[in-house]
């Protein structure tokens, strides 16, 4: 009588689970497609978790995953700042968004008393301009 454990079924199950996780993991990290501008700026280091405001190519303003109008953003920021929920904000804007839209969002941040603002970009590629 053999006292060895047959590990072949265990290995089969583990490989199937590995394949399932490899397929589903990229699907779980869904996000908004924003084509960020390229700059030579360094990485922004933040001690806490900043609020991320995204401006899409169509000019939609999203706080997290919630779409807000510019006037609603102003009220939301004022309330969040008064409650102490927001100290730092990172703005992700598509490179095709008109500068005026980004400037209005930055103005609302300033009006709400938020002074720690970072504009998120991606590093320059080595391909040239």
Q: What SS3 class is residue 15?
A: helix
The residue ranking higher by pLDDT, 88 or 29, is 88
Judged against a pLDDT cut of 90, whether residue 58 lies above it is answered with no
Bridge partner residues of 61 (DSSP): 55, 68
Judged against a pLDDT cut of 80, whether residue 91 lies above it is answered with yes
Angle at 111 between CA 106 and CA 113, to 5 degrees: 100
The residue ranking higher by pLDDT, 74 or 45, is 74
Q: What SS3 class is residue 2?
A: coil
What does each C-alpha distance from 47 to 30, 87, 88 come to in angstroms?
Answer: 25, 11, 10
Of 37, 17, 14, nearest in space to 95 by CA: 37
Q: What mean pLDDT comes out for the span 50-60?
A: 88
Q: Which domains are assigned to the chain?
A: 38-123 (3.30.420.270)
Taking the model in full, what pTM does it have? 0.63
Judged against a pLDDT cut of 60, whether residue 9 lies above it is answered with yes
Q: What SS3 class is residue 93?
A: strand
- The pLDDT value given to residue 80: 85
* pLDDT band per the 50, 70, 90 thresholds, residue 17: very high
The residue ranking higher by pLDDT, 10 or 50, is 10
- The pLDDT value given to residue 41: 67
* pLDDT band per the 50, 70, 90 thresholds, residue 12: very high
d(CA 109, CA 87): 11
Query: Hey, CA dihedral for 45, 51, 39, 113, is it positive or negative?
Result: negative
Half-sphere exposure for 98 (CA within 13 Å, toward CB)? 6
């Amino acid at each position: 009588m053999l006292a060895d454990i047959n590990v072949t079924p265990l290995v089969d199950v583990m490989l199937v689970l590995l394949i399932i996780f490899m397929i589903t993991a990229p699907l779980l990290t869904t996000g908004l497609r924003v084509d960020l501008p390229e700059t030579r700026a360094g990485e922004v280091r933040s001690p806490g978790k900043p609020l991320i405001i995204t401006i899409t190519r169509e000019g939609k303003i999203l706080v997290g995953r919630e779409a807000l109008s510019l006037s609603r953003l102003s009220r939301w920021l004022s309330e969040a700042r008064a409650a102490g929920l927001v100290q730092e904000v990172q703005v992700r804007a598509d490179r095709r968004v008109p500068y005026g839209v980004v400037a209005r969002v930055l103005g609302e941040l300033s009006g709400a008393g938020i002074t720690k603002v970072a504009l998120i970009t991606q590093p320059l590629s080595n391909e040239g301009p």
